[in-house]
């Protein structure tokens, strides 16, 4: 069984390392772990679809992809399950691994390139292998709402009974008695909702 991160590895060995060369692929990645945030995410075992294009450039491989997936979560107001279609565009440059330096000048140039990579925080290839995990996770998370809703005008839940307002009659209401009058209600045999409690005090 592959390790979780291995499912994101793509072998680009078919792509010649000549600037201007291009290959296109259509792939599905079954995510081994939840990808998203606590309230909504692409769940483990679900597929992320990629229309992938690889282009050889001087510095490495330019990866472009149209990503699509379905995230599952719950509405923050009424707690109903919801699904969200995710459609994002990915574009990242994966730099070739630095060539092994043999001369003093080559070692100096390699150090300068390494410093540039640290500053740019670019993604690196490992041989022919491209690790798509970071751009996929970033694309999904950036497309997810922090407060997902089943509808922009979702009325939420009734604070009195916890039932969704959309499932209740328009005249639904709970009588609220000021707690300062609760003792008086008990004297008259009423519960906290103003209904008879069967304990009418004998006068």
Let me know if residue 105 belongs to a domain: yes
* Domain count of the fold of the chain: 1
Output the pLDDT for position 181.
60
Cα 200 off chain centre by: 57
Whether 115 has a pLDDT exceeding 70, the answer reads no
In terms of DSSP bridges, do strands 40-42 and 35-36 run parallel, antiparallel, or are they unpaired?
antiparallel
Mean pLDDT of 107-125: 63
pTM for the predicted model, two decimal places: 0.71
- The mean-pLDDT minimum among 54-58, 60-64, 94-98 falls in 94-98
CB 35 within 8 A of CB 142: no
Segments forming the whole domain that contains residue 120:
4-143
Let me know if residue 148 belongs to a domain: no
Whether 62 has a pLDDT exceeding 50, the answer reads yes
Let me know if residue 176 belongs to a domain: no
Highest mean pLDDT among 56-70, 87-101, 156-170: 56-70
d(C-alpha 117, C-alpha 104), whole Å: 20
């Amino acid at each position: 069984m592959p390790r979780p991160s291995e499912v994101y590895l793509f072998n680009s060995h078919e792509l010649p390392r000549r600037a201007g060369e291009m290959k296109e692929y259509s792939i599905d990645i079954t995510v081994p772990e939840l990808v998203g945030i606590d309230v909504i995410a692409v769940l483990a075992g679900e597929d992320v679809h990629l229309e992938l294009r690889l282009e050889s450039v001087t510095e490495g491989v330019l990866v472009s992809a149209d990503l699509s997936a379905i995230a599952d979560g719950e509405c923050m107001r009424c707690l109903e399950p919801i699904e969200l279609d995710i459609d994002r565009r990915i574009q990242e440059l994966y730099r070739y691994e630095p060539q092994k330096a043999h001369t003093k000048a080559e070692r100096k140039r390699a150090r300068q390139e390494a410093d540039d990579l640290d500053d740019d925080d670019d993604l690196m290839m490992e041989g022919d292998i491209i690790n798509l995990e970071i751009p996929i996770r970033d694309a999904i998370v950036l497309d997810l709402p922090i407060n997902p809703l089943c509808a922009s005008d979702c009325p939420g839940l009734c604070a009195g009974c916890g039932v969704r307002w959309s499932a209740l009659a328009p005249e639904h209401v709970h009588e609220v008695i000021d707690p300062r009058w609760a003792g008086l209600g008990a004297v008259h045999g009423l519960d906290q909702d103003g209904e008879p409690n069967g304990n009418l005090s004998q006068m």
